[in-house]
Amino acid sequence: MKFLALENEIPGTCADAFAPHLGAEAFRVWELCQAGVIRETYFRQDRSEAVLVLECTNMEEAQEILASLPLVRAGLSSFDVIPLIPYPGFSRLFAARSKLVVTCSPKIQVTLVMDGECP
């Protein structure tokens, strides 16, 4: 199951408090990437907080993994964890009887009509 994890710096934390933990943090994130648990790693453009995509069995496992990060253990950051599911909207394209109209530009419009079952 996929989870989106959004880092939050703990309010009132001094920026200098992070420095001693950053090497260990990078190493732990690398370990979790190598293990296939962290699938994607980003930083927000608007502030220095991580955005992670994790592959875990359940919410509890995701929270345990995040709790193993040195910045979390040091009480400097926490994570909001959001469970994800696949986008279900594509099923509308393959309904038993459907009509899909796509406007590509003011001059081009594509209409797809399907009767019956798709293979």
Nearest CA-CA partner of 3 in 44, 28, 39: 39
What pLDDT band is residue 90 in, cutting at 50, 70 and 90?
A: confident
At 105 the three-state DSSP class reads strand
The answer to whether 35 and 115 are in contact (CB under 8 A) is: no
Which residues, at least 6 apart from 51, have a Cβ–Cβ distance to it below 8 Å? Answer: 4, 5, 6, 7, 41, 42, 43, 44
Determine the pLDDT at residue 38.
98
User: Is residue 19 over pLDDT 70?
Assistant: yes
pTM of the model as a whole: 0.76
Structure letter (DSSP) for residue 61: H
Domains of the chain: 2-83 (3.30.70.1060)
| For residues 85-114, average pLDDT | 71
Alpha carbon of residue 30 to chain centroid = 17
DSSP state of 38: E
Take residue 27 and report the two structure tokens written for it. 């190493």
Residue 119 has pLDDT above 50, yes or no: no
Higher pLDDT, 75 or 113: 75
Q: pLDDT tens digit string along 24-82?
A: 999 999 999 999 999 999 999 999 999 999 999 999 999 999 999 999 999 999 999 99
Q: What percent of the chain has pLDDT over 90?
A: 71
pLDDT band at 116 (very low <50, low <70, confident <90, very high): low
Q: How far apart, in whole angstroms, are the C-alpha atoms of residue 52 and residue 45?
A: 14
